[in-house]
Structure 1
Amino acid sequence: MKRAMLWMIAAVAAGVAAACSPTPPEQAAGDAEATREWARPPTIDGVVRAGPALTVSGVADAGARVVLRGDDGAAFAATADSRGRFEVRLPAPAGHLLLRPETQIGQDAAPSPDRLLILAAGEGPIVVLRPGGPTRRLDAAPALGAIDSDGRMRLASGRTAPGTEVVEVQSGGETVQVAPDARGRWSVILPPRDGAEPLRVAGREFVWPGEAAGSQDLVVESLDSGWRIRWTGPGAARQTTWLPGRGAS
């Protein structure tokens, strides 16, 4: 995760440098055309189940075609409206479903590094997995929404009521106070821990179950404490994500 964060910082620095560099007049027209053709990956912000179907909603470029691809080759698509909102409808899976979002403009595609994971046919947690970043839960979650680990560093995250000033996280005998953003989302880095470890977040008790067994395939385990997922992101980077159950305490 540390490498991913450094890469993001470098990318931002490169973008600032490019923005500050003068553009030769003969290149301006071509650059403007390239900008119009550029597509950003979609952002998923909700999944709702209604009977045998799921509706995945989010934001993309206005008029862009949004595609959700499964590892089995299945693809589901919809077109964003003039506000950039989209809704992709698909049949509820029999079990777990991992989808890769992308935006299409013409023959070009802008794949997202994120993965949408729907557990237990939509009855379990629904999350957006993010390589090198915190998992974002779209379902109702406890104070501690997730812990992500690459074996060298762990990232605890969650969401609280907007306006909450601080969230207190106790781990390994240390207490950290973190300030949520305007939407109530927060994250904090924890030291690595292979085995089980008790934690306390916002006054509630949780127990980190430890790393999942190594595998290149998607591994989903239902535990008493919630769900543990082993998954592979871009560049074959393997990551463990633990999702505490709503009744965890």
Structure 2
Amino acid sequence: MKRAMLLMAAAVLAGGATACSQTPPEQTGGDAPAPREWARPPVVQRVERAGSTLTVSGVADAEARVVLRGDDGDAYAAAADPRGRFEIRLPAPEGHLLLRPETQVGQDTAPSPDRLLILEAGRGPIVVLRPGGPTRRLDAAPALGAIDSDGRMRLASGRTPAEGEVVEVQSGGETVQVAPDAEGRWSVILPAREGPDLIRVGGREFPWPGEAAGSSALMVERMESGWRIRWSGPGGAGQTTWLPDPAAP
């Protein structure tokens, strides 16, 4: 069982390392990048709060228009510079905010399958949700950054600051080791489990609260020293994401 889980972990990590890469789509020499035949979705890398303003930054196609759309119809946009860097400023919401990033180049639009979730107006966790993939936390996260589940499979993920450090994950009586990618991010498949479970990562125990009730609308609740989110991807498939709180200072 341990060997099978290790093989699955390697496959997930290989896919995640490519999908979560934050390398800017830019040229290293010459002037502006050559025109592309199609637009690529933007990659959100950072969200910062200053007073009543949130600044969302990342990379996209050079000089493309980047848009963040909310389910309420609000949209916030800015143009990327010649190197593909963008910054979008928006008012901090009173509560939670779910945004869908997209790139516009001429008449072409490239919506991202990801969702940017900002909890408690930027005072809570800030994450990029990925349908069928590991959640990418942009805030200060503990050793276990997130658990994602679609009811059939659970995916644990996180980030380690130590280069080359192997991460050991214990769950359901099984132990698996996984090597992080070049950015320190890792992900591994866990045994399926609907009810509560105790997961151990980096010497700390994390109480997975179990699946959230089915819902097509965004649902956010405090649960077991963390946040449990129920949300739907582009195809309408429901997914549960649990975000553990950082350790108390």
CA shift digits 1:52-108 (9 cap, x unpaired): 000000000110000000000000000000110000000001000000000001222
Higher gyration radius (CA): 1
Contact 2:217–2:231 (Cα < 8 Å) also in 1: yes
* TM-score normalized with structure 1 length: 0.85
**Is the 8 Å Cα contact of residues 46 and 56 (structure 2) preserved in structure 1?**
yes
| Distance apart, 1:37 and its partner CA | 3.5
Match of 1:205 in 2: 205
CA distance in 2, matches of 1:163, 1:121: 32
Q: Which runs of 5+ in 2 are unaligned?
A: 1-7, 16-34
Partner residue, 2:104: 104
Q: Which consecutive aligned stretches of 4+ in structure 1 deviate over 6 angstroms post-superposition?
A: none
Please name the residue that 1:20 is paired with. Answer: none
Instruction: Between the two structures, name the one with larger relative contact order (CA 8 Å, sep ≥ 6).
Output: 2
Is residue 241 of structure 1 aligned with residue 244 of structure 2?
no
Equivalent residue letter for 2:83: R
Would you tell me which structure has more helix in proportion to its own residues?
Answer: 1
Alignment of 1:1-249 (within 5 A): 36-247=36-247
- Match of 1:121, SS state, is helix
* 8 Å CA contact retained: 1:162, 1:182: no
Percent identity between the two aligned chains: 78
Per the TM alignment, residue 166 of structure 1 is displaced from its structure 2 partner at its CA by: 0.4
- Root-mean-square deviation (CA, aligned residues, Å) is 1.9
Q: Distance in 2 between the 1:202 and 1:189 partners?
A: 17
Alignment length, in residue pairs? 219
Instruction: Give how far 1:222 is off.
Output: 1.2
CA offsets 1:92-126 (integer angstroms, 9 cap, x no match): 01000000000001222100000000001110000
Q: Give the Cα–Cα distance (whole angstroms) in 1 for the partners of residues 116 and 144 of structure 2.
A: 19
Superposed displacement of residue 161, structure 1: 1.1
Deviation of 1:236 after TM superposition, in Å, equals: 0.8
Gaps of 5+ in 1: 10-34
Amino acid of the residue matched to residue 136 of structure 1? R
Contact 1:162 1:183 in 2 (8 A): no
Query: What TM-score, normalized by structure 2, do the two folds share?
Result: 0.85
